[in-house]
């Protein structure tokens, strides 16, 4: 268990330096270049290349990850992917990671994909209260595992379904219903579109099975756009008006991957949507008071309930742009869309490359990026988050790979933050609860939104607060061929506070923020469903990652430390 041993060595160095520490480091072969050496390992910079950047973004912004909301199944898949990269680089976990997990997560087991050693984990869990994230439209509730249920009654037999695999509650749509099951298409009734899924369907007192979204027809329903008719809240309100007692909403399967995309994310369990994405500009869809009890169900569950392939039926309705009827007889469902308010467990991800210098290894440079995004909207559109912040996360993973096998004098801590979109929640928690004493953190390098704009430009925040960082970033760009020709300093105080570096600046740690063109309005896809992998420039991301790598390398190797930041 070399990883656990190295982590313990690092912890001891953080607390006390002794001659024996130097002997042990020499024994392990960890001492690197002479003091003050500035030249990175041969091949490190060249290892940061656009093909791998694009592969990272393709995974992180794939539809199966559903916008990586905090928390969500998709975000857990992203965390597993990130942990796998950190493990492949040979990085160790924080010394206190096992104890922290037991203290915060209590009886939950450490996910095997995050574990290193007997009790360590790359995950750094923390709890958020029920109000966090309410600004995005829903309070922080979670499924009530004891009471949430879906059961089919047919011919005197009962067939239960599994929470989290077959169904999940819809937030704020609680209640228990027993009723006859009827099919109501997409749950849309519109005079403007000349479309009526309810015509000829008796919904009074029934449980309506509907399909999420709206028909994907090239001429109807605004073509490739998605109208307010697709909103989950508008559908539930329309069904309530028609007298329905409950609603089952089938999530449509994502398109099957082509052969070249076979290595995409695995099929995931159904994810409960703690919040719904708020896109730019905001839509007008609003939750209504006293909605019907509602569950979201998988396509497999819909087929098991009806005996019909509802996904295939939805495709036929896409092509025709017209409602389809499906008569169901003798089917009764029992549904309970129970949720409960609860503090929620979120995970930052932290990996450590121990330093090689006995005098400086106790000091740490942090390099990080948030890996969350805004999730899925009320109309079923995914906020893919390719640029925000699949690009920064891809850059972080490339920087990590460039450090593989390297021996910087100071230690380097790689951090992926959750819940940045909820107000820097994850980074603020890590800045307050670091795995090392705060005074031993030399600097923080943050990467957020790197993939749009001029390919040879990077925008930097933090020079005004840290003049020394401006010189270091300039030196870094001269140290190797990054692909960056213009470093643009921006001093907008409002934007300076909007990404994760600000959490570390707020506790007195020098921090620099690498990002794309300013102002942010230049990026027309920011916080929209159009922020997809084909909209980013992988070479631009790679160039920024090279600059971030060399900046981190200098910070981890130079003799002097930066002074505290200015206000």
The whole-number average pLDDT for the span 434-461 is 97
Q: H helices within 374-424, ranges in order?
A: 392-402
DSSP character at residue 475: H
The CA distance from 334 to 180, in Å, is 9
The CA distance from 510 to 211, in Å, is 50
Query: According to the model, what pLDDT value does residue 257 have?
Result: 64
Tokens 């017209």 sit on residue: 322
> What pTM was computed for the model?
0.90
Highest mean pLDDT out of 16-20, 278-282, 315-319? 315-319
Are 350 and 415 in contact by the 8 Å Cβ rule? The answer is yes
The whole-number average pLDDT for the span 120-145 is 75
Query: According to the model, what pLDDT value does residue 118 have?
Result: 80
The CA distance from 138 to 372, in Å, is 17
Residues 152-194: tens digit of each pLDDT: 999 889 999 999 999 999 998 999 999 999 999 999 999 999 9
DSSP character at residue 112: G
Are 91 and 84 in contact by the 8 Å Cβ rule? The answer is no
For 65, the token pair is 């990850």
Pairing mode, if any, of strands 511-515 and 457-461?
antiparallel
Indicate if the pLDDT at residue 509 is higher than 70. yes
The CA distance from 295 to 287, in Å, is 15
Are 547 and 480 in contact by the 8 Å Cβ rule? The answer is no
The greatest distance separating any two alpha carbons of the chain, rounded to the nearest whole angstrom, comes to 85
The CA distance from 422 to 138, in Å, is 12
Handedness of CA 38, 39, 41, 46 (dihedral sign): positive
Indicate if the pLDDT at residue 265 is higher than 90. no
Indicate if the pLDDT at residue 413 is higher than 90. yes
Between the alpha carbon of residue 388 and those of residues 286, 371, 375, the distances in Å are: 25, 8, 12
Report all structural domains of the chain as residue ranges with CATH numbers, in order of start.
2-14+45-126+345-557 (3.40.630.10), 136-341 (3.50.30.30)
Query: Which helix (H) or strand (E) covers residue 551, if one does?
Result: helix 538-557
Residues 355-373: tens digit of each pLDDT: 999 999 999 999 999 999 9
Query: Which helix (H) or strand (E) covers residue 87, if one does?
Result: helix 73-88
Query: Which helix (H) or strand (E) covers residue 447, if one does?
Result: strand 441-447
The CA distance from 315 to 562, in Å, is 60
């Amino acid at each position: 268990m070399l990883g656990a041993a190295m982590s313990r060595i690092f912890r001891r160095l953080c607390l006390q330096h002794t001659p024996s520490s130097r002997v042990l480091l020499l024994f392990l072969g960890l001492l690197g270049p002479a003091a003050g050496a500035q030249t990175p390992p041969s091949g490190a910079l060249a290892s940061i290349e656009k093909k791998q950047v694009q592969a990272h973004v393709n995974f992180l912004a794939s539809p199966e990850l559903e916008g990586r909301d905090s928390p969500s199944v998709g975000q857990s898949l992203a965390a597993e992917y990130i942990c796998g990269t950190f493990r492949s680089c040979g990085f160790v976990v924080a010394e206190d990671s096992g104890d922290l997990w037991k203290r915060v997560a209590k009886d939950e087991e450490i996910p095997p994909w995050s574990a290193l050693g007997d009790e360590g984990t790359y995950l750094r869990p923390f709890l958020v209260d029920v109000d966090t994230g309410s600004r995005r439209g829903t309070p922080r509730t979670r499924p009530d595992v004891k009471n949430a249920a879906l059961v089919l009654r047919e011919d005197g037999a009962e067939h239960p379904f599994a929470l989290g695999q077959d169904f999940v509650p819809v937030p704020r749509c609680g209640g228990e219903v027993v009723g006859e099951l009827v099919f109501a298409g997409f749950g849309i009734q519109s005079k403007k579109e000349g479309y009526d899924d309810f015509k000829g369907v008796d919904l009074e007192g029934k449980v309506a099975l509907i399909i999420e979204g709206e028909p994907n027809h090239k001429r109807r329903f605004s073509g490739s756009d998605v109208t307010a008719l697709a909103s989950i809240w508008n559908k539930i309100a329309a069904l309530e008006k028609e007298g329905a007692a409950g609603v089952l909403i089938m999530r449509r399967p994502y398109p099957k991957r082509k052969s070249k995309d076979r290595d995409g994310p695995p099929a995931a369990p159904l994810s409960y949507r703690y919040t719904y994405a708020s896109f730019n500009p905001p839509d007008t869809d609003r939750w209504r008071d006293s909605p019907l009890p509602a569950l979201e169900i998988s396509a497999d569950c819909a087929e098991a309930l009806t005996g019909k392939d509802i996904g295939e039926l939805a495709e036929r309705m896409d092509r025709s742009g017209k409602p389809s009827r499906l008569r169901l007889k003798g089917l009764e469902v029992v549904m309970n869309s129970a949720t409960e308010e609860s503090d929620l467990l979120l995970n930052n991800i932290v990996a450590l490359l121990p330093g090689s210098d006995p005098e400086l290894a106790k000091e740490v440079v942090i390099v990080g990026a948030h890996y969350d995004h805004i999730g899925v909207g009320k109309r079923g559109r995914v906020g893919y988050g390719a640029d925000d912040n699949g690009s920064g996360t891809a850059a972080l993973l490339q920087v990590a790979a460039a450090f593989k096998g390297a021996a910087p004098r100071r230690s380097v801590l790689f951090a992926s933050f959750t819940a940045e979109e909820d107000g820097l929640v994850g980074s603020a928690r890590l800045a307050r609860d670091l795995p090392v004493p705060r005074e031993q953190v030399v600097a923080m390098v943050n990467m957020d939104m790197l993939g749009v704009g001029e390919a040879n430009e990077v925008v930097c925040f933090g020079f005004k607060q840290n003049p020394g960082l401006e010189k270091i970033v300039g030196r870094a760009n001269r140290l190797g061929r990054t692909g960056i020709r213009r470093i643009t300093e921006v001093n907008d105080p409002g934007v300076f506070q909007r990404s994760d570096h600000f959490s570390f600046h707020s506790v007195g740690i020098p921090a620099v923020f690498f990002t794309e063109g300013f102002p942010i309005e230049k990026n027309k896809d920011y916080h929209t469903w159009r922020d997809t992998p084909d909209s980013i420039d992988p070479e631009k991301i790679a160039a920024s990652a090279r600059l971030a790598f060399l900046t981190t390398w200098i910070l981890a190797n130079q003799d002097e430390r930066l002074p505290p930041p200015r206000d």
